[in-house]
């Protein structure tokens, strides 16, 4: 059965009902969902802020089910060296910041953005995140934004910077209506910074050691203060480096909150000798999933946390977790492209309707729950296969990413995502890949998918993981809550997985 299992990116101009049927596999007749909680939605912030983030996939967890971003790699120059970065490294299968396959001029980038906007109606944000520093390589960043916003005025402009050069461009940022800026802040303490940054280039000088980190810290705090004062939403990214800044990130979280950051995104260090980075070559490891979660959990109550980051390449295209960049390399982008706004307008219209429908389902479900969390109750972890739209709409064998939710009597919360190679290759299952998926799902006893074959279902069950496809095309949170209620009502010994 394949009805409804479409790639979101393949959707073109269509009626609202067509879009609904494409994503859900059902007619637009409302949902059967029952219970859940929510995060990063309109209930969590004032209406004016919600209006600014509701279509930004990184600033709203809810939005990342519906909207896509693209990065254009126009800014290769950088003014600092991070021990986790090597901008020379390229691999089309590698998804992490700084990695790109082709660098673009602003004119090429503008052409590419228009081509993508015509093909991917979910596109809402153009980000510049390297491969160097968008604020240091400012002339190219600014020219790219100017060219694109002249043609697509409603696209959100977003940039990512280490903060060293950003104060020099604050007036430009405001004048250009750049509403979202990410600052990477890994430390407040220069002693810790000296273990992360060997040098910086500032004010025509190369600085090293403690002096470099002291100046970088001061400029990062100045950037944050200026951006907040000028009304720009700031997300702070921090790279979690075990043994260097793990304990320190709680302090960073509290300080960036105090200074007015909107979100804090704590990301795991990606480290591998093959990447040729200092940390990779010296054996500095990244955190385990449990270590990352422990630091994130410790920060609860401080700055709001982003947990759905996918550590995108600097030329990523598509929904978060998707990378369709290879479909839009410059040799595939026509010399002449004309922007057609119809597909994006139809998509927004559909999303507005879908969001209302989903919220109604969530509210109904929450009203039906309302129980207290029992003492000692451990939340149930549930993995979900989805292609977006907030629905369980992907076959198990096609999933290369599992979204992990936790649920208890207080509701359903998105926790993180875990990646593994997809089980099905060319129509057949791969046992080695299934073993990898089982390892990836360690500690997660339930997986929800749109469909699964008997063989992988049995192997998962043997590993203690119940695969459920009876919630195919339902909204995620209500389905997760329904599974929780069933498992709570039926002791494990009486269930057949």
Residue 320 binds which one of ligand CLF, ligand SF4, none, with CB within 5 to 8 A depending on kind? ligand CLF
Residue number, nearest CB to ligand SF4: 85
Residue 264 binds which one of ligand CLF, ligand SF4, none, with CB within 5 to 8 A depending on kind? none
Among 30-38, 75-83, 376-384, 404-412, the segment contacting ligand SF4 (CB under 6 A): 75-83
98 scored as a contact of ligand SF4 (CB under 6 A): yes
- Which of 128, 479 has the CB closer to ligand CLF? 128
Interface positions with ligand CLF (CB under 6 A): 58, 69, 71, 97, 125, 127, 129, 158, 160, 180, 182, 235, 265, 309-312, 320
CB-CB neighbours of 419 under 10 Å: 15
- Which of 97, 397 has the CB closer to ligand CLF? 97
- Round to whole Å and give the CA distance between 86 and 78: 11
Question: Taking a C-beta distance cutoff of 8 angstroms, is the pair 267, 240 a contact?
Answer: yes
- Which of 11, 82 has the CB closer to ligand SF4? 82
CA angle 424, 388, 316 (to 5 degrees): 85
Question: Taking a C-beta distance cutoff of 8 angstroms, is the pair 36, 390 a contact?
Answer: no
Residue 309 binds which one of ligand CLF, ligand SF4, none, with CB within 5 to 8 A depending on kind? ligand CLF
Q: How far is the CB of 265 from ligand SF4 (least distance, A)?
A: 14
Which is nearest to 385 in space by CA: 326, 297, 465, 285? 465
- Which of 6, 77 has the CB closer to ligand SF4? 77
Q: Which two tokens stand for residue 53?
A: 């983030």
130 scored as a contact of ligand SF4 (CB under 6 A): yes
Q: How far is the CB of 466 from ligand CLF (least distance, A)?
A: 30
215 scored as a contact of ligand SF4 (CB under 6 A): no
Which is nearest to 114 in space by CA: 347, 345, 333? 333
Q: What are phi and psi of 229, to 5 degrees?
A: -65, -30
- Round to whole Å and give the CA distance between 260 and 257: 5
- Which of 219, 310 has the CB closer to ligand CLF? 310
Residue 85 binds which one of ligand SF4, ligand CLF, none, with CB within 5 to 8 A depending on kind? ligand SF4
Site string for ligand SF4, 131-170 (x = CB under 6 A): -xx----------------------------x--------
- Which of 82, 157 has the CB closer to ligand SF4? 82
Q: How far is the CB of 182 from ligand CLF (least distance, A)?
A: 5
- Which of 240, 412 has the CB closer to ligand SF4? 240
Q: What are phi and psi of 303, to 5 degrees?
A: -60, 140
85 scored as a contact of ligand SF4 (CB under 6 A): yes
Q: Is 424 left (phi over 0), alpha (psi -120 to 50) or beta?
A: beta
CB-CB neighbours of 229 under 10 Å: 11
Number of residues that bind ligand SF4 (CB under 6 A): 11
Residue number, nearest CB to ligand CLF: 127
Residue 216 binds which one of ligand SF4, ligand CLF, none, with CB within 5 to 8 A depending on kind? none
Among 125-133, 212-220, 298-306, 328-336, the segment contacting ligand SF4 (CB under 6 A): 125-133
How far is CA 1 from its chain centroid?
A: 29
82 scored as a contact of ligand SF4 (CB under 6 A): yes
- Which of 86, 124 has the CB closer to ligand CLF? 124
Q: How far is the CB of 394 from ligand CLF (least distance, A)?
A: 19
- Round to whole Å and give the CA distance between 195 and 244: 7
78 scored as a contact of ligand SF4 (CB under 6 A): yes
Residue 265 binds which one of ligand CLF, ligand SF4, none, with CB within 5 to 8 A depending on kind? ligand CLF
Question: Which residue is listed with tokens 């702070």?
Answer: 236
Chain residues that interact with ligand SF4, rule: CB under 6 A: 78, 80-82, 85, 87, 98, 130, 132-133, 162
């Amino acid at each position: 059965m394949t009805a409804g299992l479409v790639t979101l990116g393949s959707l073109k101009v269509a009626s609202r009902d067509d879009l609904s049927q494409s994503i859900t596999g059902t007619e637009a007749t409302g949902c059967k969902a029952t219970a859940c909680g929510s995060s990063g939605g309109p209930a969590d912030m004032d209406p004016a802020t919600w209006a600014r983030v509701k279509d930004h996939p990184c600033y709203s967890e809810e939005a990342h089910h519906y909207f896509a971003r693209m990065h254009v790699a126009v800014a290769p120059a950088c003014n600092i060296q991070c021990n986790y970065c090597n901008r020379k490294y390229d691999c089309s299968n590698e998804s992490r910041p700084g990695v790109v396959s082709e660098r673009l001029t602003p004119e090429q980038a503008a052409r590419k953005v228009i081509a993508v906007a015509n093909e991917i109606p979910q596109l809402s944000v153009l980000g510049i995140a390297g491969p160097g520093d968008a604020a240091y390589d400012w002339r190219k960043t600014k020219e790219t934004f100017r060219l694109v916003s002249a043609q697509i005025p409603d696209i959100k402009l977003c940039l990512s910077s280490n903060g060293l050069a950003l104060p020099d461009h604050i007036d430009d940022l405001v004048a250009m209506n750049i509403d979202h800026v990410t600052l990477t802040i890994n430390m407040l303490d220069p002693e810790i910074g000296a273990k992360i940054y060997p040098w910086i280039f500032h004010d025509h000088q190369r600085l090293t050691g403690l002096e470099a980190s002291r100046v970088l810290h001061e400029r990062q705090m100045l950037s944050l203060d200026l951006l907040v004062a000028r009304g720009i939403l700031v997300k702070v990214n921090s790279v979690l480096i075990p043994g260097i800044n793990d304990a320190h990130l709680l302090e960073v979280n509290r300080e960036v909150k105090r200074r007015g950051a909107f979100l804090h995104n704590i990301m795991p260090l990606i480290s591998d000798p093959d990447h040729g980075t200092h940390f990779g070559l010296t054996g500095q490891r990244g955190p385990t999933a449990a270590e990352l979660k422990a630091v994130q959990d410790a920060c609860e109550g401080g700055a709001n946390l982003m947990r759905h980051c996918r550590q995108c390449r600097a030329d990523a295209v598509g929904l978060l977790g998707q990378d369709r960049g290879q479909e839009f390399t410059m040799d595939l982008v026509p010399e002449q492209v004309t922007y057609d706004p119809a597909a994006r307008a139809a998509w927004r219209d559909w999303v507005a309707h879908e969001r209302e429908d989903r919220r109604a389902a969530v509210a109904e479900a929450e009203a039906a729950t309302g129980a207290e969390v029992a003492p000692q109750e451990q939340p149930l972890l549930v993995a979900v296969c989805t292609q977006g739209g907030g629905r369980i709409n992907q076959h198990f064998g096609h999933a290369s990413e599992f979204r992990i939710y936790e649920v208890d009597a207080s509701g359903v919360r998105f926790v993180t995502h875990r990646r593994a190679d997809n089980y099905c290759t060319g129509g057949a299952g791969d046992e080695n890949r299934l073993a990898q998926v089982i390892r990836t799902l360690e500690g997660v006893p339930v997986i929800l998918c749109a469909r699964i074959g008997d063989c992988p279902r049995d192997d998962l069950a043997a590993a203690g993981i119940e695969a459920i496809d009876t919630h195919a095309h339902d909204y995620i949170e209500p389905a997760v809550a329904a599974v929780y209620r069933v498992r709570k009502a039926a002791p494990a010994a009486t269930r057949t997985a």
